[in-house]
Structure formats: C-alpha cells, structure tokens
Amino acid sequence: MKLKNFLSIPIFSVFFVMGFVYYVTVFILIEDWVGLQTSAGSLNSMIFTTLACLCVLSFLVGVLTDPGRVPSSYIPDVEDTSFASDQEPKKNVLQSKYCDKCAAYKPPRTHHCRVCKRCILRMLACGLMMLALSVTLGTLLGWHIYLITHNMTTIEYYEGIRAAWLAKKSGLSYRHPFDISVYKNITLVLGPNTLRWFCPTSTSHLKDGVSFPTLRDSS
C-alpha cells in the first residue's frame, strides 16, 4: 500500500480510536482502580500496553500486506456442484461466480472489495473490523457504565481526582458527594423503571436540574 493511503480518514480514525481507548484504560480506569504507581497498576498497565502494541502491529500488517487477487487464468469448474443444488442450472452457478465489476469469474468465498477495487480471495476484512469495533465499543460502554454507577460526569471525574489527591494529603478520604449507591445512582440517571434502562428515553424522573440528592441526605 502506498504511503499516501496512511493519510486516509478511515485509517486515521482507527489510530485515533486506539489512542483514545489506550488513554482511557490506562490513565483513567487503571489509575482510578489501583493507581499506576502501585505494583498492581504497573502490571495491569504493562499487560494492556503489550496488548495495545500487538493490536497496532496487527493493524499495520493488515494495512501494508497486499490482500492478493484472483489469478487471471482462473476459470470455474462447470461440473463443480458443491455450492449449488441439484435443481439449479449450471448457467446460474456460473452467473453467481461472475463479478460484473471486475468482468471476471471469482472462486468460492471471494468477494469484491470497493476499497481495493478488485476481488479478494476469502475476504476477512469485514470480520476483523467488526471485532475491532466491538472491542472499542465495549471499552466505551464499560467507561460509561462506570460513570453511571458512580453518578458522575466526565468533568466531575477529573475534579474528583484532584479532590481525592488533596484529601489524601490531609489524611482524609474522599468520595463523590452524589455517589449514593449503585442502584440509586442508576435510577437517578436512567429512571426507576428497569425495563426502560436499555432504552433510556424517559425524562419524567428528572427534576429541575438545580438540586440533587447527596450522601448527607441519605445518612
């Protein structure tokens, strides 16, 4: 692949998402969980960094490796009926193995790639991309579940880090003032009806947005 293809928006987006996921996992989740200065935090960050490097390396190999092409001398076997029923005419079998865009026949499990602009033998790019997107979305889902169960926004999370640091210097402990309990936190955000948690469209449980229940109210 030419170097200029690295400047394409899809490839840049993948690198951006990888960097974002790495930052959130190491510097937010692991730091808040056990702390990067501890032995457990260092071990977890080292393991995740290794996996992230392997992910980037695999992506680079996938980008730089030529996916191959259908041999120009390929001609389908008319007598091969392994992918057709007994009632299906041989003419229809040949039509299903013909690529109109390449104007050539294609072997079984071959698909036309719009990016490469040619047929690819046993194309797996879509499956790998779906796997990468699933991992990315799963990480983002976990991050937002963490925020909801602690009843905080992203800005409040960063403010809480500084507040916890100041409290630790004074020999005190810090807890987010609006973090009441896991169940109550979820109901305050998604509503009391558990059936609507997976489709949070209801806003009737929201108040004026000026006052919120705190730990002091529940104690």
Per-residue model confidence as pLDDT tens digits over 125-142: 555 555 666 677 778 888
User: For residue 173, is it within any domain?
Assistant: no
Residue 36 lies in a domain: yes
Domain assignment present for residue 133? The answer is: no
52: in domain = yes
Q: What does each of the 219 residues of the chain score in pLDDT, given as a tens digit?
A: 455 556 677 778 888 888 888 888 888 888 877 888 888 889 988 988 988 888 888 778 777 777 777 887 777 766 554 444 444 455 555 555 778 888 888 777 677 877 778 887 765 555 555 566 667 777 888 888 898 899 888 888 888 888 888 888 888 888 888 888 899 888 888 888 887 777 666 667 777 666 788 877 765
State pTM to two decimals: 0.48
Residues 1, 53, single domain; the answer is: yes
Range of the domain at 11: 1-66
Domain assignment present for residue 137? The answer is no
3-state SS class at 160: helix
Let me know if residue 32 belongs to a domain: yes
Whether 189 is in a domain gets the answer no
Tell me the two tokens of residue 218: 């529940």
Structural domain count of the chain: 2
Instruction: Name the strand (E) or helix (H) holding 111.
Output: strand 110-113
> 54 and 101 in one domain?
no
Domain membership flag for residue 207: no
